Structure 1
Amino acid sequence: MDIRVTLDGRPVDATLNDSPAARDLATLLPLTLELKDFHGTERIGYPPRKLTTEGAPEPSAARAGDLAYYAPWGNLALFHRAGPAADADLLVLGHLDAGADRLARAERITIEPAP
């Protein structure tokens, strides 16, 4: 699923996968979130409601550039470093094509439907 993403007002190439959680995220678009650092590995922000976790794929470890959803807290996570080992509560939703430095400094993300 193609989306349009901007980090701090600058465009980034990105896609969402076809998981139920990613499709649920798409229903919230357009969405702008303030991001904060979490453990020097990811930037996190909170959508207005929790996403579905039904039909979640097998867990996999997040990698730099992945946009993921952490179900227990209801937050989106933008990884700028490889994440922890596979965790059933962390659902990878898509990927952003941006350098780790840019991802690590991001303070605001806007996700919109692709035109």
Structure 2
Amino acid sequence: MKLKISFGDTELTATLNDNDTTRDFISMLPITTQLEDYANNEKIFYPERKLTKVGAPGGYQPSKGDITYYAPWGDVAIFYKDFSYSLGLIRLGEIDGNRIEKLQKIATEPVTFEILEE
């Protein structure tokens, strides 16, 4: 399944994983929110509720472009740099192509996440 991430005149796509946490995230779409920069490594936002962790691994080592869910805090994180293995991190999918830099530079403009109809 494909995710569309749009802000300003930019549209990115992402390929989503098939797992319970991702399906729970999809059930909340569309979401329009502002992203916050965290630790000069990722952009984060908090969905309206925590997502399920059913069947999720204990942790994950994210790479640049990965879309993840950090279960302990309840935030969705999009990594624009590689990062170390983190307990409680669940992979939801990844940004297609090499366009993560556009998202990295976003400031306060709203970002919309929605399923891309194919």
After TM superposition, the score normalised by the length of structure 1 is: 0.88
| Alignment CA distance shift 1:15-1:7 (3 Å) | farther
Counterpart for residue 111 of structure 1: 113
- Quote the sequence identity (%): 36
Counterpart for residue 33 of structure 1: 33
Q: Deviations over 1:6-60 (max 9, x none)?
A: 1444111211100110000000010112111111000111111100001003632
Contact 1:44 1:76 in 2 (8 A): yes
Counterpart for residue 91 of structure 1: 90
Superposed CA RMSD: 1.6
Question: What is the distance in 2 between the residues matched to 1:9 and 1:52?
Answer: 32
Unaligned runs of 5+ in 2: none
Letter in 1 for 2:91: V
After TM superposition, the score normalised by the length of structure 2 is: 0.86
Q: For residues 1-115 of structure 1, what are the structure 2 equivalents within 5 Å?
A: 1-57=1-57, 59-84=59-84, 86-97=85-96, 98-107=98-107, 108-115=110-117
Letter in 1 for 2:102: R
Over 6 Å off, 4+ runs: none
| Alignment CA distance shift 1:27-1:19 (3 Å) | same
Count of aligned residue pairs for this structure pair: 114
* CA-CA distance at 1:101 after TM superposition: 2.6
Contact 2:12 2:99 in 1 (8 A): no
